[in-house]
Structure formats: structure tokens, C-alpha cells
Amino acid sequence: MVSRRVALTAAGVGIAGVAGAAAVGAAMMDEDRSPAAASPGDAVPFYGEHQAGIVTPAQDRLHFAAFDVITKDRAKLVEMLREWTAAAARMTQGRDAGLLGAVGGQAEAPPDDTGEALGLPASGLTLTIGFGRSLFRDAAGVDRFGIADRMPAALEPLPHFPGDALRPEISDGDLCVQACANDPQVAVHAIRNLARIGFGVVSIRYSQLGFGRTSSTSREQATARNLMGFKDGTRNMKLEDTDLLREQLWARASDGADWMAGGSYLVTRRIRMTVETWDRTPLAEQEAIFGRDKGEGAPLGQAKEFDEPDFAAKGADGEPVIAKEAHIRLAHPDFNNGAHLLRRGYNFVDGSDGLGRLDAGLFFIAYQRDPRKQFVPVQRSLARADILNEYIRHVSSGLWACPPGVTGDGDHWGRALF
Ligand code: HEM
């Protein structure tokens, strides 16, 4: 649906805060809250019942950052979250991050915005915040900000899975922000400006750039491919699956943490692929590993991408057509107590590793109502038997409570929590 909001933003509200931008912003809040932008340059509404960037049709680019909170002062942290919210509301609508106005300002002070997104459109930017377990209670059990009793049970630490090679310095964190956009410069600008605004309160623990979304989160999107060359996201939970989203994506007050009602839990995993070994693996073996053909993405034994897999079918040799250890069998809800995930991952290539290999893989992102019932059993089943494990290694992990959306004036990220 093309709403008035979309038409107005398509007219080109640049980041410099051209005349009338504020009025346009206000109009956007009141009108259509459809989660999708009509074209890649458009703005996605920031305000709403749920945070944008979860069911929003996956944009092409990612800049994900995890932050450590470096102050002990609760009031400073809350004030920064308030400032972050204001900046996020502006940047997602294609405006500058500044709280005081456009770039420039006083002659001796640094500008209110770093400037590299000046003149660029909103580019579908979404900013999604999450709170890590260590924000509530540090490793020594100390209640850092007086919120330990509000920690959701669903933030229970993920167990160790066979094959995990996690590096602590690129895992976990107190806060995370997922920036997704159709222009990498816009996503990078957003994270950079949040880090700048948070100076003295937070510092970046690690960050990850991603490209080429590996999931579709709407039936209107074509399925993209991961770096193994396979379509990824075919059987993902999607924006149109409203009953399933209610059941398996959005947390409820009755789940235990009332401030999380309408929020969702995020699991991030940086998964390194040994692409050089994969590239020497015969096609038939690659297809057996996933249980799908590479060209069309159809389940083995079927013709079309969206055909249902038949896990009971046997070939002439009496063996299952989709192997017992195939990725799509082990990850399928039928074999995991009905568990679904909303996957939203991105490809990454971070140069090479000095040994002639690309440092490449999948930055896995999955949202769900309760990781203890969703990510954990699915990953247990994959870690135990997935043939894909010969070609991948999980090197970082994060678990985050992403609160509900910000509803408008006076509300801010973390308000219900603090
Ligand atoms: C399905 C790739 C890791 C959960 C798929 C598919 C591909 C794929 C190609 C089939 C198309 C689709 O339905 O999306 C990969 C790669 C991974 C990886 C390359 C690692 C580098 C994971 C992890 C999880 C996971 C860590 C969760 C713990 C799923 C689920 C499905 C799926 C739930 C859909 C199963 C179904 O209902 O048919 N994956 N995946 N994947 N994957 Fe993965």
C-alpha cells in the first residue's frame, strides 16, 4: 500500500533537515504504520506497538553493534537511552542525529551529526535495541542498575553447544543495536552517531557489518542466497503469518516480564564458513547437506521452492530422500516440538584470515518469543548431527531482550524497564 507517508518521504527529505521535515515526521506518525517501505529509499515508521527491524521486510545491509555500559550511574544511562530514542526517531526518517538541530551549531563545539549521510534518503533504516543479561546482573551477580529483579527468565544463558568456538570479546554485551538499511552508509552512520551520543556512558564492544540479507521476512520478497549459494529463508516465519507471530514471536506479559509484552528475544551468532572447502564439495553432496536443490531451492524430491518437504519419502535405494542429518530436517518444527524462528541474518566477508582464506560466513539473527523453547532446541539438534557442521563454526553469540516499540512522545527505549 502506498500511503501519504510514503509519498511524502519519496519526495526526498534529506538528512540535512530541510524545511518542513519536522512536519513530515509528525504526519508520518499519525498515518499508516505499515512496516514496509514502498521503495528502497523510503522511511520505515519508527513508532509502533513493536520495534521496527523485526518483521520489517529485511533490508539489504546490516550494521550490528554490541555495547558495554561503562558508567555506574543509572540516571546517566536512562538519559542516554532517551537521547538515543530521539536520535533514532530522527535518523530512521532520513534526518540528522542531532538533538539540537541540523549539522553545524556552535563554532567551537563538534557538530551534532557526523555528516556522512547528509543528503542520503532514509533508505529503509530501522534501529532495533536489545538488552543483554549483563545489564541486569554482572558476572559477579551484582545488580548494576537496580533492575536485576526485572530480568526475564528467558534471558537464561544459552548452553554450550557441541562445536562452539565462541570468542568472549565478540560475544554478549549489555546493549545491542541492530541497524538495517538499504544503504550501508546509512546503517553505519546510525550506529556511529549512537556511539557518539553515548560517549562516556557506553563503549562499543564489537560490531558487525553484513550484506545480502540471507532471509526474507515477507512473502512479497524474493528469497536471497547465503554465501554457500543456497536460497535462505524459504520456510522462515514471515510478516504475513500473523497467528504464528502472535504465538511464537512476540512476548506477552503472562510470560513473566510485563515490560517485555510486545517485545521479542534475539539470538545472534557469528558463524564462520570454510567457503574454500565448501567450494570443492560436489553439488550433490551440497544439496544432500541442506536437503534442498541449489538452483530452485526446492526440497529434495519436490519441484518448486515452496513445495512442502516430504521427510518420509524414500529413494530407490531405500534411504530417505532428505537425509536424516540434512539441515532442513533437523531444523524443521516437526522435529523440534513445533518451534519456529524469525531468521533475519546477513552474509559477511571481513577480509581474509592470513592463511589464504576468506573470513566469511553468516551473521545469524533470529527473533522469537522464548529462546529456551525455540533457538536452544533447534540449535541442539543441529549441533548434534547437522552435516553442515563440517563447514561452519560458531565464533560469537549474543542473547538479547528487545523491548516493545516506542509509542510516541514521552516514551523512550527502556522506559518500561527502568
Ligand atoms: C533452513 C542455511 C544455520 C535454523 C535453512 C535453509 C538454508 C539454511 C539454506 C533452507 C531454506 C529455508 O527454509 O530457509 C543455513 C546456513 C547456516 C544455518 C548456511 C549456517 C551458516 C542455522 C542455525 C539455525 C538455523 C544456527 C538455528 C539454530 C533454520 C531453520 C530453517 C533453516 C529453522 C527452516 C527449517 C524448515 O522449517 O524447513 N537454513 N542455516 N539455521 N535453518 Fe538454517
Position in ligand 1 atom list of the atom nearest CA 233: 14
Which class for 318: exposed (0-12), middle (13-18), buried (19 or more C-beta within 10 A)?
exposed
Q: Which of 300, 327, 332 to probe ligand 1 with, by most ligand atoms within 8 A of CB?
A: 327
**Closest residue to atom 6 of ligand 1, CA basis:** 232
230 lines ligand 1 (CB under 6 A): yes
d(CA 367, CA 399): 10
Buried b vs exposed e over 289-310: b needs ≥16 C-beta within 10 Å? bbbbbbeebbbbbbeebeeebe
Task: Tell whether ligand 1 has an atom less than 6 A from the beta carbon of residue 77.
Answer: no
pTM of the predicted model, to two decimals? 0.91
Question: Which residue type sits at 320?
Answer: P
Testing ligand 1's pocket by substitution, the residue of 216, 364, 392 carrying the most ligand atoms inside 8 A of its CB is: 364
Q: How many angstroms separate the CA atoms of 380 and 278, rounded?
A: 23
First to last CA, the chain: 37
The span from the CA of 191 to the CA of 41, in Å, is 18
Could you tell me the three cell numbers for 356? Answer: 589464504
391 in ligand 1 pocket by Cβ < 6 Å? no
Nearest to 29 by CA among 411, 403, 409: 409
Distance 171 CA to ligand 1 centre (A): 21
Please list the residues that pair with 209 across neighbouring strands: 63
How far apart, in whole angstroms, are the C-alpha atoms of residue 259 and residue 131? 12
Q: What is the full per-residue pLDDT of the chain (418 aa) written as tens digits? A: 333 333 323 333 333 333 333 333 333 333 334 455 668 889 999 999 999 999 999 999 999 999 999 999 999 999 999 999 999 999 999 998 876 555 556 677 788 889 999 899 999 999 999 999 999 999 899 999 999 999 999 999 999 999 999 999 999 999 999 999 999 999 999 999 999 999 999 999 999 999 998 888 888 889 999 999 999 999 999 989 999 999 999 999 999 999 999 999 999 999 999 999 999 999 999 999 999 999 999 999 999 999 999 999 999 999 999 999 999 999 999 999 999 999 999 999 999 999 999 999 999 999 999 999 999 999 999 999 999 999 999 999 999 999 999 998 789 999 999 9
Task: Report how far apart, in Å, the C-alpha atoms of 374 and of each of 238, 335, 417 are.
Answer: 16, 12, 24
Contact 264, 402 (CB under 8 A): yes
Residues 6+ apart with CB under 8 A from 73: none
329 CB near ligand 1 (under 6 Å) = no
